Amino acid sequence: MIELHPAMVMIFGGVLAGILPRRLRQVAMIAVPILALFSVINLSNGTVWIYPFINNLELTVLHVDKFSWIFAFILCLITLLANIYALHVKKGGEIIAALLYAGSSLGVVFAGDWITLIFFWEIMAISSVFLVWYKGTKRALAAGFRYILIHFFGGSVLLAGIFLKVMAGETQITVLTGSNGLAFWLILCGIGINAAIPPLHSWLTDAYPESTVTGAIYMNSFTSKVAVFCLIRVFPGLDILLWAGIIMAFYGVVFAVLENNIRRLLSYHIISQLGMIIAGIGIGSELAINGALALAIGNILYKSLLFMSTGAVIHTTGRYKLTELGGLYRTMPLNLLFFTIGALAISGAPLLNGFISKPMVITAATLSHMPLVELLLYMSGIGTFLSIALKLEYYLFFGEDKGIKPQKVPVNMYVAMAGVSLVCIVYGLFPNLLYQKLPYEVSFVPYTLDHVISDLQLLAAAFVPFWILLPKLKTHNTISLDLDWFYRKPFAAFINYTVQVCCKIRDESGVLGYKLLNMAIPLFKNPLKWVALEDGTPAREVYQEDTYRFPIAVPILLCIIAFVVTASCIWIS
């Protein structure tokens, strides 16, 4: 069977899908990710495609191992389900952007050298911003502009580190843990920005809520998840990632509990989940790396399901704040079911895929003799259940009925949610389907009496205080200020001040220049003004402008001659 690069299948298929008539586009939206999925399945472990590049460099455009294979498989699967969710979208450009985004993400995952990685990395940034801009609002335009600025900055930092690596003759992607130097820190910072590590994390919570309803599914699945995949490949066991991850896990949960905008709440919770993944990368043991990869895969699935469910609410009601929603369990019972599956999965409830991945990271902390890390990860898990399965679900579906009458949810949305729910359940019931594809051998058994009881105890520990304190937890129509306030406001003030200074200099220099020009014109009007004839008569008295000055054709002719002579010399040489 012919081997195809899954990234190229997505990219070229996406361009084709975008220009086809709507009905054929819908067919292509299903066929392209299926073909990419089969392309991944057809790739065997150890497959490498190498092509010559400039200056005797070689590009490894495809490098298949256990890390990349399972991750690419899930990316293709979620692209298929996201495309089903987006079948009703009428804008072909949005579909092109989504599939270019998916294809470039696959390109990063399969990249074996730094140059290939940065090439697809930048396509990923450029294509994803259109999923924000296609919403068409002023807020979306501004958020997309800030989003692309941050990603261009992060890409430039990463590119600088890659330049240093390539100049040193190190073109292939290798583990950098244990090394040091400028390239190490530049690459870490460049990837860390895409992984939403604070303080440069606000691009995520700023842009994702402003994206299109369908665009949020793709954005949740690719940028930050591909970044943590790169951290797994390049920086396993890096100590600084352990504590950065712990901080992220709590930071995201705290802001999620405070948030009123439902998609911004989910966006903050992405940061929390990324924190748990990054903490696992920082632990660095084989069990921790397996757990981090499994948790990233699980997060792609159940967080996409949550975005799909809340997206259906926004699509049918036009409302996106908890203070404006409530009582939807009567009118959207099927959507409630899918949301509940996603909420329980992200909380690590038994029988769902979150239960087979989160305990791996926590157990890795235990086996690595990190009791404080173990405790903090448990507490972060409680915060997850509190913010998603309790707060968001209660106020969205069971809160005060606002009398909302939502429109009919498109069937394709329900089909996509059912598909993601099924995958979450299947992986939860049969964990070996995932475990056998992870890079290291898995001896971890999730379904032990101890694990199940401790997990149920944690969920109960979060539910009881929530129910008791429910009147105190009522949502408010407020805006949560994040760390980006500290650099966005001063930077905006700096830009405004700089513009004002430049305009002032321009205006003043224009006035001064006009005065100097008026003073200089008389000097050139009569070039003999300061010259005297032999008999002592001032030349200015006999100088006649119409008689002595050159016709305008003379300097033009001289310029043409000079140009022809110069061009002839260049051509002859």
Domain annotation covers residue 161: no
Same domain, 444 and 414: yes
For residue 447, give the nearest of 346, 367, 343, 360 by alpha carbon. 360
Same domain, 538 and 505: no
* Percentage of the chain exceeding pLDDT 70: 92
Say what angle helices 66-85 and 6-19 make with each other, to 10 degrees: 20
Stretch among 135-139, 210-214, 439-443, 469-473 having the lowest mean pLDDT? 469-473
Domain annotation covers residue 181: no
pLDDT tens, 289-340?
999 999 999 999 999 999 999 999 999 998 988 888 888 988 999 999 999 9
Find residue 261's DSSP bridge partners.
321
Query: What pLDDT does 430 receive?
Result: 95
**Per the structure, how many domains does the chain have?**
4
For residue 345, give the nearest of 410, 432, 395, 273 by alpha carbon. 273
Distance CA 133, CA 478 (A): 25
Same domain, 366 and 491: no
pLDDT tens, 71-108?
999 999 999 999 999 999 988 899 999 999 999 999 99
Same domain, 216 and 354: no
Mean pLDDT of 349-365: 92
Domain annotation covers residue 169: no
Asked if 190 contacts 161 with a C-beta cutoff of 8 angstroms, the reply is yes
Domain annotation covers residue 231: no
Mean pLDDT of 417-437: 95
Mean pLDDT of 397-421: 91
Distance CA 259, CA 550 (A): 76
Using a 10 angstrom Cβ sphere, with 0-12 exposed, 13-18 middle and 19 or more buried, the burial of residue 400 is exposed
Domain annotation covers residue 46: yes
Using a 10 angstrom Cβ sphere, with 0-12 exposed, 13-18 middle and 19 or more buried, the burial of residue 398 is middle
Domain annotation covers residue 545: yes
Domain that holds residue 391: 236-476
Here the tokens at position 365 are 């902390």
Same domain, 211 and 65: yes
What is the tally of helices (H) and strands (E) in the chain?
23, 2
Same domain, 347 and 375: yes
Phi, psi of 63 (to 5 degrees): -135, 110
Phi, psi of 30 (to 5 degrees): -90, -45
Same domain, 110 and 249: no
Mean pLDDT of 221-243: 94
Stretch among 14-28, 54-68, 511-525 having the lowest mean pLDDT? 511-525
Query: What pLDDT does 508 receive?
Result: 84
Same domain, 408 and 512: no
Same domain, 215 and 275: no
Query: What pLDDT does 557 receive?
Result: 79
Domain annotation covers residue 178: no
Stretch among 43-47, 164-168, 177-181, 552-556 having the lowest mean pLDDT? 552-556
H/E run at residue 61: strand 58-63
Phi, psi of 538 (to 5 degrees): -60, 130
Same domain, 518 and 536: no
Same domain, 281 and 414: yes
For residue 310, give the nearest of 332, 279, 281 by alpha carbon. 332
Same domain, 136 and 251: no
Domain annotation covers residue 186: no
Here the tokens at position 244 are 């950065």
Within a 10 A sphere around the Cβ of 327, how many other Cβ atoms? Answer: 16
